[in-house]
Structures are given as C-alpha cells and as structure tokens.
Amino acid sequence: MFLETDPLWLQSLFTAAVTLGAGGSLFVFALNRKLSFVEFLHRSVLAGIVLVTLACASLAGLAVAYGWMGYTGLKVYLLLPGSILLVVLFGEIRLVLQRWRYHASPPVSRINFHFEGQSLVAEHVSSSSDRKFHPITTTDLALLRYEVEVAGLGLTQGAARRSLKVVQLSDFHYSPRLPFAYFRSAVELAIQEEADLVLLTGDFVTYQEDAVRLPELFEGLRGRLGLFATLGNHDYWSGAAPVLQGLKQAGVHLIANDCVRLPLWDELHLRLCGIDDPWGVPAWQPPDFQAGDLNLIISHSPDNIYRLIRYPFAGVFSGHFHAGQVRFPGFGALVVPSRYGRRFNRGHFRFKNFASSSDTHLFVSAGVGSATPLLRIYCQPEIIVVNFYIVS
C-alpha cells in the first residue's frame, strides 16, 4: 500500500489499476458463468462493457489526481476493489487445489499435426520445441491417447485385460470459413484408429446452412459398436432440424436423454448414455443400471459431472469449452463457459464414484473447430482416443 506522502500521480495510477483489475475480474467471472446461456455475445456489448470498465478506472484515477477525495476517503474507497481482488486471489488458489484434487493421468502419447493445404501432416518431434514461437494453432491438431483401467465388473480371470477403444470428436463448428479439407482430415485420422466406439459430443455447426455438408464430412466414420452423438448448444441455436437430418444421413445415432445397451463380449455389456441438454439441469434420467455393465456417457458440457458421479459411469466424454480457444502460456484459458469457471477446461480428470468401486473418468476435449472468434491461440484442437482396459 502506498503512503500518504507518495505523489498524487502514483496514488492515482495505483487506484486506477486496482479499479481496473477488480472490474475486469468481475467481468471475466460473470462471462465464464453466463456465456453458455447467451446465443451470440455481440461485439458491441463486449466493447461497451470494456469501455465502461476503463471509464470507471479512469474516473477513479482522476478523482485522486485532482484531489476530489482525501487520503482517508481513498483508503475507504479501495476497500471495495481491494476486497474483490482478494476474493479473486482466493479463487485462484482454490482452483489450483481443485485441479490437484481431480488430477488424472496425462496422455500416454501425443501426436501433433499441421494442416498443409489439403491434409493434416504429422510434425517431427523436433518441431514441438518451436511451438511456443507459433501462437496461432487454429488448424494445428493433436491426437491424444489415454489409458484407463476399469475394475469391479465381475469378469472371470481368463477374461481379464480386455480392452475397449473409444475415439472422441467434439465441437467441429463446421464452417466454410475454414477449409473443408481440414475437418475431413481430422475425421480421416479418426477413421484410421479403427475404434470400437466413436463418440461425437456436439456443436457440429455454428450456422444452420452449413449442416448440409455433415454427411460428406462424416462419410466412412464408423466404430465396431457404432457411431453415437449428442447435440450441443450451437446446434440448438442454429436450428436443430438440419443438424439432425445431416447426422442421420451420415449414419450417426443420436442419444437424446436416453441410453443404449450393446454387447461387448460374452460376459460383458456396454451401456452408453447421452445427455442432450447442453448445460444446466438435464432432463436425462438414469436407467436401471445392471451389475457387470461398463457404463459410459456423453454430455456436451462437463458441468453435469457432479451429478453423474452418483451413478456407476466409468467414463464421461464432454467438450463445449474449446479449452478457451485463447490460452496464455503458463496460465491457461481466461474465459471458459462454465458454471465452474476454468476448473475443467480441458483434459483428463478423475472422480470418486459414489455408486461403484471404480472411479469416474472425465475427458474434456478441446474440440476440432473454432467458433467466435475463428481463431485459436496457444490452444490446439484435438482428437481424444481412450483405451479402457477391463481388469478382474
């Protein structure tokens, strides 16, 4: 804290900075938690809020510079923005602790691809060290592989260590503003995985007229057990009917607040559920779970996770956040449209499951495409591949 004897310009600058920091923190806090419920955040609204915040900070600084408030009045005034900043600091500490609490295993492998005109080309290992000098990552896709062990399903010893390979693709936001070849190349990478199960976790388009190319985009994409999807908020905002038609033509099975039960092996079944509501309290109701089933669920938004860990799900697959689209080295995303802020912005998280002896694993994909802005900075799009190993 500055002293009363410090020059007015320093007191003024400090006051303006604290006011700006507090106002900006409140704005980011509100934006994180309300962005999912706003169809389109108009640039004029965003610019207006920024200008108001800057104006308040400037007025506070001028009030000090011109002596409109004394030193005592200044100290009283600073209690408000100072308290806000202290709460924000406490929140950041709490965020670090929560991420540590839910920390799960990193990917066992990562392959980076760069889009070169017509296709995604794998990068050489040596080029990864230069990534920090290339912040624009809009079409620099990564393929991440995870491994998860699931126990407690009652398998016989001879059936131990069977595996289920799941590929997740999310948040295409297909638009001709980016090359169709980029999106198609991402799908072709998924096809090459020859997965048992392919999951699409919503936000296929941003604008309704672009849904007509979904059958072409997903042509040939299959899984041994099927190709399943749930819708996202942008699919609803753009008008769900063309999206549903495009997915149907592509052979995608939509799971709308429902579940399907599929045979895996002689002694084991897979129950796959889907939450169709993009956010909030879902209309989905739990089925009658059967002992010995492997239970997975797709939910466009990870915000449903605390409800889902009350049921015996081994895996939850989500997207929605785009990992923030704009990330800062060493800090991560600033804006993530979640009621929990940046807690589950991307990656693999593990929770204690209250209905089974196994954990629940949450996978939050950064997505394949970009929405608004049509840009990714230090935020690679990605495909997630998870091998579930069933152990006795």
CATH, residue 246: 3.60.21
Q: Are 135 and 64 in the same domain? A: no
Q: Are 69 and 207 in the same domain? A: no
pLDDT above 50 for 16 = yes
From 316, 279, 271, 274, select the one nearest 295 (Cα to Cα).
271
Per the structure, the count of domains in the chain is 2
Domain that holds residue 81: 8-101
Number of Cβ within 10 Å of residue 21's Cβ equals 17
Task: Answer yes or no: is 318 within a domain.
Answer: yes
Task: Answer yes or no: is 1 within a domain.
Answer: no
Q: Are 129 and 275 in the same domain? A: yes
Q: What residue type is assigned to position 79 of the chain?
A: L
Distance CA 68, CA 119 (A): 63
Distance CA 231, CA 279 (A): 11
Q: Are 74 and 141 in the same domain? A: no
**Can you give the pLDDT at residue 278?**
61
Q: Are 294 and 329 in the same domain? A: yes
The model's pTM: 0.87
Lowest-confidence pick of 199-208, 232-241, 280-289, 309-318: 280-289
Of the residues 101, 123, 140, which one is the last residue of a structural domain?
101
Q: Are 371 and 240 in the same domain? A: yes
Q: Are 333 and 326 in contact (CB under 8 A)?
A: yes
DSSP secondary structure letters along 266-294: TTEEEEEEEE-SSSSS-S-------TT-E
C-alpha Rg value of the chain to the nearest Å: 24
Q: Are 197 and 322 in the same domain? A: yes
Q: Are 15 and 55 in the same domain? A: yes
Mean pLDDT over 272-299 rounds to 84
pLDDT above 50 for 281 = yes
Task: Answer yes or no: is 176 within a domain.
Answer: yes
Distance CA 62, CA 74 (A): 12
Task: Answer yes or no: is 2 within a domain.
Answer: no
pLDDT (tens digit per residue) in 138-186: 999 999 999 999 887 766 655 556 889 999 999 999 999 999 999 999 9
- Max distance between CA atoms of the chain, in angstroms, equals 82
